[in-house]
């Protein structure tokens, strides 16, 4: 625990000074205020229930504004329009993951879950967070892919995979910190896209798809590790051969 706290303090290495976000987790400091003010949050949270029927559109935003006691004109509060809805959904779902970590605890005496299993479990929980809006999710993906929104979307994806690894108890401080997050990001983005066309009951196909992706990463990761080991061994052997021949290196 202490080690994890210390590690989380070291992580700001990569942090840029931004007002509304930080790229590390802290047990000692409250989280920074989100990008949305309380007024904006009240309208956005009131808009969420309208998304399944009206999608990620200005109409949902207007209806939400009305529910929160505002008027149609108040949607001017969101210069990015419906993308604010997408962002709010992404953010609330990501922050909601922390409450789902209870499901990671195993019964007394049973073998505790490994980090890998926890990551899989949390990734699945996050995907299920899109269940209500998955028939509208392609609209959200289109909004996220708009050039002006791409940086925010990518940042949100990075924050999500970091959140999942952090909640799973990952404490790596080497280059695997990056590879873990990068590979989880690709897996999540691919599975999320797959899910938009999945019609199977309880998203069984998505589940299989996700498992296959995790397996792929393991295989590729294992292969990369083996190749690395072989390269290292050959190099040091070659070096020793040269030294035995009298080359001064």
Partner 1 sequence: MASRLALRPLLRAAKPQFQATQVHRCFTSTTRRAESPSQSTNHERTTHFGFETVAEAEKEARVAGVFSNVAASYDTMNDFMSLGIHRLWKDHFVRSINPGSSSTIPSSGWTMLDIAGGTGDIAFRLLDHCTDINNSPQSTITISDINPSMLAEGKKRSLQTSYANSPRINWLVANAEHLDTVESNSVDLYTVAFGIRNFTNKEKALREAYRVLKPGGVFACLEFSGVTNPLFDAVYKRWSFGAIPLIGQLVAGDRASYQYLVESIEKFPKQEEFRDMIKDAGFVVPGKGWEDLTGGIAAIHKGIKPVEKA
Residues that bind partner 1 (CB under 8 A): 37, 39-40, 58-59, 62-63, 65-66, 68-79
Give me the least distance between CB of 80 and partner 1, in Å please. Answer: 8
Which CB atom, from 148 or from 175, has the smaller least distance to partner 1? 148
Give me the least distance between CB of 161 and partner 1, in Å please. Answer: 26
| Contact partners, residue 237, CB within 8 Å, separation at least 6 | none
Which CB atom, from 30 or from 79, has the smaller least distance to partner 1? 79
Which CB atom, from 68 or from 113, has the smaller least distance to partner 1? 68
Give me the least distance between CB of 66 and partner 1, in Å please. Answer: 7
Give me the least distance between CB of 46 and partner 1, in Å please. Answer: 12
Which CB atom, from 13 or from 71, has the smaller least distance to partner 1? 71
Which CB atom, from 11 or from 155, has the smaller least distance to partner 1? 155
Give me the least distance between CB of 96 and partner 1, in Å please. Answer: 24
Measured CA to CA in angstroms, residue 240 lies from 29, 117, 245 at distances of 52, 42, 9
């Amino acid at each position: 625990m202490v080690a994890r706290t210390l590690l989380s303090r070291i992580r700001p290495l990569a942090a840029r000074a931004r007002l509304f976000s930080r790229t590390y987790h802290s047990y000692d400091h409250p989280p920074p205020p989100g990008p949305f003010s309380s007024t904006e949050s009240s309208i956005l949270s009131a808009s969420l229930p309208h998304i399944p029927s009206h999608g990620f559109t200005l109409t949902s935003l207007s209806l939400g504004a009305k529910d929160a006691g505002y008027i149609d004109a108040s949607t001017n509060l969101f210069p990015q329009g419906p993308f604010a809805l997408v962002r709010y959904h992404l953010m609330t779902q990501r922050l909601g993951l922390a409450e789902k970590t209870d499901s990671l605890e195993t019964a007394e005496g049973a073998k505790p879950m490994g980090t890998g299993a926890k990551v899989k479990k949390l990734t699945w929980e996050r995907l299920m967070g899109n269940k209500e809006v998955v028939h509208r999710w392609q609209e959200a993906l289109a909004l996220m892919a708009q050039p002006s929104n791409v940086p925010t979307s990518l940042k949100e994806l990075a924050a999500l995979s970091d959140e999942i690894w952090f909640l799973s108890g990952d404490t790596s401080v080497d280059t695997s910190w990056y590879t873990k997050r990068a590979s989880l990001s690709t897996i999540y983005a691919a599975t999320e896209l797959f899910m938009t066309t999945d019609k199977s009951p309880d998203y069984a196909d998505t589940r299989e798809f996700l498992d296959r992706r995790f397996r792929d990463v393991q295989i590729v990761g294992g292969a990369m590790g083996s190749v690395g080991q072989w390269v290292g061994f050959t190099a040091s052997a070659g070096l020793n051969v040269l030294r035995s021949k009298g080359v001064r290196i």
